[in-house]
Structures are given as structure tokens and as C-alpha cells.
Amino acid sequence: MSAWLLPESVADVLPSEARRIEELRRSLLDRFRVYGYELVMPPMLEYTESLLGNADASLDLQTFKLLDQASGRMLGLRADTTPQVARIDAHILNRKGVTRLCYCGPVLHTQALGLHTTREPMQCGAELYGCGGVEADLEILSLAVDTLNLSGLKNYRLALSHAGLLAAVLEGSPVPEPMLRQVHQALAQKDRPRLQALLAGIDGLSATQREAVIRLLGLYGTLGGTQCVLTRARACLPATKAVQAVLGELQTVVDRLQETVSVVPVLVVDLADLASFDYHSGLIFSAYVDGCANSILRGGRYDDVGAVYGRARPATGFSVDLRELVALQAALPSPKRAIRAPWVFDPALMASIRELRSQGEVVLQSLPNTDAEEEEFVCDRQLVLANAVWTVVPMGMNQEKLK
């Protein structure tokens, strides 16, 4: 086997892409900060008891595991940063009030999540703890929209749903958790025949409840007008207090979001998209763009994640893969302007170079007997010696013209 081969769905990040990822990372973390979010850096690996304490089966399968030579215990390489941030909030910070945390770093997956995706995403996200109201959901959703707008992404769609809707429809008719999980999967896959078969095998459900669950498959579309999804949902779903509360919460978020963000994306509602059965507990949202089969951003409320760490607090957040965002950017940034300097052992030249670099200028010295092959920089200026002074001039200007 060739020594330069990498594992499947793992790749080097080369200079141009690396620069764009790093510039986007800095921009997003700066934006999170003006919202009041504090940066944390969880470790890459933890004991699996902590990392996967209340994770669902899919996250467990996505986690690389290895034996710790120091303790003999099982370690896991994180596949998602959210549980780690929840641990920090619950066990280490242990604040009484609202806590806003953000993060950015690589995660590892045992399997790629979609076509042409990497098993080493650069996950960036924000989490808000300590507020269970719609106000917190609106803040985190506004920050998610701001994140996508700041990345330069165009023509994306934001899909909204609510993880509590299925429970509200089935209220009063307990369903065994294994069966409920299968119903949830059939809804997520839009598999009507399987969903009908599953519902027929559940004792205690009324005909109205069975029909309402099936109707969730068709409750998808844009917002506004008489055919608005939420309007149709109010008309065809049971008019119980629980169902109406969920639909009312979604309506409130939609109405207020349009007043909160500067650029409102296309909003759709998919009431059959209930995200992770074990993970989310309230409002959930995803962003999609043409040409990408996977959601490019996903988030929502997950109030029970901190329970395994001894402190179940209201929580909501989102995450996005910077590598995927950069790949979707429509226009490539221009190479950075730079200054070419000769390789001369001259203290005055070295002083000039140091001064230019302290001002943020890129200065490239031409090494002896080598060719310049940079792709990230365009040297449009040069340092030349004129009248015993090192001066920056346009490329191509010779010293005779400076005398």
C-alpha cells in the first residue's frame, strides 16, 4: 500500500481551502461573541461513559472507540461536540443563570453522513442553557441564520419542525418506546405504507390519532397564504391543547424571526421531520441548499442532554460544518496581495520587512536559487533599494526610475 494513501472519506485540507475555512471560523466566532457567547474547547477524546452517556444509537455507532492504555477504560473520539458542551455547562461551570457557549473544532465519524462528505467535519456551533422559553429558541435560530448569511451562502431554505408534535398527537395513548421509535423513523423517511402498518399494530390508538399521524407526512411546504402549512395543520390535526401549543410555538417563532434577522431565508415547515428521537425535545430546524443532499446546518432544543451529568437544564443550539460551508461558497476569494522582497543580508531591509508585517502586509522573500510558486498570494508590489532606502513600489518598476 502506498504510504501517501488516506482512509476513505478523509482528505488533506490544502492551502486555498484551509485559508477560507480559517477566515470563516474567525468571522463566525467573532459574530458569536457579539451575541454574548463564550468560547470553549472540549477535548478530542473522553471516556465513553461521559461522551455517550445519553446519546442515541446513531451517535454511538458514529463514535470511534479505543482502549486507554493508562486506565484500561474505553475512550471515544467525539463525533459531536454538543454533549461535551452540555457537560461543561452542567458539571464544570455550574452557573445558576443563562449560559451561552460556542465552539469550533474537528469531530470524527466512523461513517460519512452523506455523499461526498468527509468523516472529519469542522464542527462550529453555539449552545444556550438555562432558558426554556421561545425567546431562547428565537435567539439561537437568529444566530443560525446570521451564521449562514455571514458565510455568504445564497438561496438556502430553513426548515422548521417540532420534536414534541408526535407526542402531542398521541397524548393519552401510551406507545411502547421501541414502537414509537419505529413510527418516528417511518415519518422521517416519509414511508407511508410502513407507517400505516406500524400504526395498525399499536393497541389503544384511536382512529383519529392514527389518521393524524399519517397526515403529518403531507404537512410540508412554505409559509404564508391560505395554504400555509401551519394553517392546514390547525385544520387537520386534533384540536387538543397540546397540539395547538406546539403549532402556536412554531407560529410565534416564524413571526418574530422575520422581525429579528436582516435577511430572512426561505422558510418551510416539515412536520414529519422530527430529528433525533432521543436528542431533541422542542423546536428543531435545518438548512438546505440546492446541489447538496444533506442539511448544511441543524439545531434545536434538547432539554434532557445534561441529565446524565447531574443537571438537566433547558438547552437549545445548532451546529454547522465549516468545510461543507466553504465548499458551497459561490465565489472564491481573490488571492491576498503581497510584497516581494529580495533575499539580501541587509539590516535596513530586515527592519522594513518587520515593519510591513507588523502592519498586516504579507511580505515574501525570494529565496536564493528557487522559483516562487505560491497560490495563495499575488505579489503586486516589491521592495527595492532607492537612494539608500528600501521602498515599496509596484511590481516591474526598476530602480533606475526611482533615482
Q: Which among 135, 86, 9 is positioned nearest to 308, based on CA atoms?
A: 86
| The total number of structural domains that make up the chain | 2
The tens digit of pLDDT for each residue in 227-285 reads 789 999 999 999 999 999 999 999 999 999 988 888 889 999 999 987 655 678 889 99
The tens digit of pLDDT for each residue in 50-66 reads 898 766 778 899 999 99
> For the chain, how are helix, strand and coil distributed in percent, rounded to 5?
40, 20, 40
Q: Could you tell me if 252 and 382 lie in one domain?
A: no
DSSP 284-353: EEEEEETT-SS-SEEEEE-TTGGGGGT----EEEEEEEHHHHHHH-SSPPPPEEEEEE-----HHHHHHH
Q: Does residue 110 lie within any of the structural domains?
A: yes
pTM of the entire predicted model = 0.88
The tens digit of pLDDT for each residue in 307-361 reads 777 788 999 999 999 999 998 886 666 788 999 999 988 999 999 999 999 999 9
Q: Tell which of 307, 328, 349 closes a domain.
A: 328
Q: Does residue 177 lie within any of the structural domains?
A: yes
Q: Tell which of 305, 328, 351 closes a domain.
A: 328
Cα distance between residue 50 and residue 52, in whole Å = 6
Q: How many residues are listed for the chain in this entry?
A: 403
Which DSSP helix (H) or strand (E) runs through 87?
helix 82-87
Residue 309: all three cell numbers together? 451529568
Q: Does residue 9 lie within any of the structural domains?
A: no
The tens digit of pLDDT for each residue in 173-220 reads 888 888 888 898 899 888 999 999 999 988 888 999 999 999 999 999
Q: Could you tell me if 180 and 74 lie in one domain?
A: yes
Report helix, strand or coil for 51.
helix
DSSP 160: E
Q: Could you tell me if 317 and 345 lie in one domain?
A: no
pLDDT at 398 > cutoff 80: no
Q: Could you tell me if 281 and 364 lie in one domain?
A: no
Q: Does residue 355 lie within any of the structural domains?
A: yes
How far from the centroid of its chain's Cα atoms is residue 275's Cα? 15
Q: Could you tell me if 254 and 378 lie in one domain?
A: no
Cα distance between residue 71 and residue 63, in whole Å = 20
Cα distance between residue 41 and residue 21, in whole Å = 18
DSSP 90: I
Residue 329 phi/psi, 5-degree rounding, is -65, 135
Residue 7: all three cell numbers together? 482512509
Q: Could you tell me if 226 and 79 lie in one domain?
A: yes
Region of 155 (left: φ > 0; alpha: ψ -120 to 50; beta: rest) is left
Q: Does residue 7 lie within any of the structural domains?
A: no
Q: Does residue 251 lie within any of the structural domains?
A: yes
Q: Could you tell me if 66 and 159 lie in one domain?
A: yes
Q: Tell which of 279, 296, 328 closes a domain.
A: 328
Q: Could you tell me if 318 and 220 lie in one domain?
A: yes
Whole domain around residue 271: which residue ranges?
15-328
The tens digit of pLDDT for each residue in 107-160 reads 999 999 877 789 999 999 999 999 999 999 999 999 999 999 999 888 899 999
Q: Does residue 346 lie within any of the structural domains?
A: yes
Q: Could you tell me if 233 and 99 lie in one domain?
A: yes
Q: Could you tell me if 310 and 365 lie in one domain?
A: no
pLDDT of residue 16: 87
> At which residue does the C-alpha cell 515593519 appear?
355
pLDDT category at 399 given cuts 50, 70, 90 is low
Q: Could you tell me if 289 and 341 lie in one domain?
A: no
Q: Could you tell me if 262 and 355 lie in one domain?
A: no
Residue 227: give its domain's CATH number: 3.30.930.10
Q: Does residue 8 lie within any of the structural domains?
A: no
